[in-house]
């Protein structure tokens, strides 16, 4: 285990392939936040504290994972700066940023409605006709979002409420990450809000069974249940 101090709030840890084999751990454990990963992270923090004087973060930290197939794995720990609630300008700026973010995401979410429609499987000839105007339209209960890298997935998970009663699973396919979100016991309003936020970090992939089956058959499931919860340290 090799520790490198980047700055006051950031350290890098290099784990060789031999060490990963000795710990019996790989990147999936860190992504899924397994107990084994927590133990290794604790050891890394203790070693960093002893060797380079690293102080564990008082708040949450970002974890970046970079695989080096021929050598091993590099883990980068960066402390997150909390918002100073006594600093009115900082709070106002933060809230304004959130407002702009949600407005932008809302527009993207509405625009994605057509993409959802295109993703649906065309009805069979003998299927039931669409409901007449004025009747209740059934909203989709799940959606799949595509993220270009794990950092984007972790960033999204970090802003999600811990008490959100949605079902979630994480897949990887063709180098991208796919987050399956099912409304579960959450209200449709909270579920929609979660989908809106997801599109700030990734893009919508599908909202119909056929694409989900394709993902399950051709992708690799990293976290089968409770992905959002497990993706937060």
List, as one string, the DSSP characters of 83-136. P-TT-HHHHHHHHHHHHHHHHHHHHHHHHTHHHHHHHSPPPPTTSPPPPPTTSP
Same domain, 100 and 210: yes
Predicted pLDDT at 139: 56
Per residue in 170-196, pLDDT (tens digit) is 999 988 999 999 988 888 888 888 888
* Element (DSSP H or E) covering residue 210: helix 209-218
Structure tokens at 199: 């599109």
Q: If pLDDT is split at 50, 70 and 90, which confidence band does 164 have?
A: confident
Answer yes or no: is 199 within a domain. yes
The count of domains in the chain is 2
Q: If pLDDT is split at 50, 70 and 90, which confidence band does 96 have?
A: low
Residue 130: which residues within 8 A CB-CB, separation 6 or more?
A: 123
In the predicted model, what is the mean pLDDT of residues 188-212? 85
Predicted pLDDT at 126: 47
pLDDT at residue 168 greater than cutoff 60: yes
Same domain, 75 and 93: no
Same domain, 211 and 168: yes
Same domain, 201 and 147: yes
Same domain, 99 and 186: yes
Same domain, 97 and 71: no
Same domain, 115 and 208: yes
Q: If pLDDT is split at 50, 70 and 90, which confidence band does 136 have?
A: very low
Instruction: Give the length of the chain.
Output: 233
Q: Which residue has the higher pLDDT, 57 or 136?
A: 57
Which residues form the domain of 74? 2-79
Same domain, 110 and 214: yes
Helix 88-111 × helix 188-201 angle, to 10° = 100
Q: Looking at the DSSP assignment, which residues form a beta bridge with residue 181?
A: 143, 168
Answer yes or no: is 129 within a domain. no
Predicted pLDDT at 95: 53
Q: Give the integer Cα–Cα distance in Å for 44 and 26.
A: 15
Same domain, 96 and 209: yes
């Amino acid at each position: 285990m090799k520790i490198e101090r980047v700055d006051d709030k950031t350290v890098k840890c290099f784990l060789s392939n031999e060490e990963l084999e000795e710990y019996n751990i790989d990147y999936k454990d860190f992504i899924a936040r397994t107990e084994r990963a927590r133990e290794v992270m604790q050891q890394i923090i203790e070693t960093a504290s002893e060797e380079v004087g690293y102080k564990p973060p008082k708040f949450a930290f970002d974890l970046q994972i970079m695989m080096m197939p021929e050598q091993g794995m590099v883990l980068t720990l960066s402390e997150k700066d909390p918002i100073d609630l006594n600093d009115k300008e900082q709070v106002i700026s933060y809230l304004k940023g959130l407002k702009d973010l949600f407005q932008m995401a809302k527009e993207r979410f509405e625009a994605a409605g057509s993409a959802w429609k295109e993703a649906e499987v065309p009805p069979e000839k003998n299927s039931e006709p669409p409901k007449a105007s004025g009747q209740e339209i059934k909203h989709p209960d799940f959606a799949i979002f595509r993220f270009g890298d794990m950092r984007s997935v972790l960033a999204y998970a970090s802003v999600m409420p811990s008490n959100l009663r949605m079902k979630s699973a994480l897949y990887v396919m063709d180098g991208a990450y796919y987050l399956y979100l099912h409304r579960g016991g959450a209200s449709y309003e909270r579920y929609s809000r979660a989908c809106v936020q997801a599109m700030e970090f990734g893009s919508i992939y599908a909202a119909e069974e056929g694409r989900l089956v394709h993902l399950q058959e051709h992708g690799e499931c990293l976290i089968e249940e409770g992905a959002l919860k497990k993706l937060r340290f």
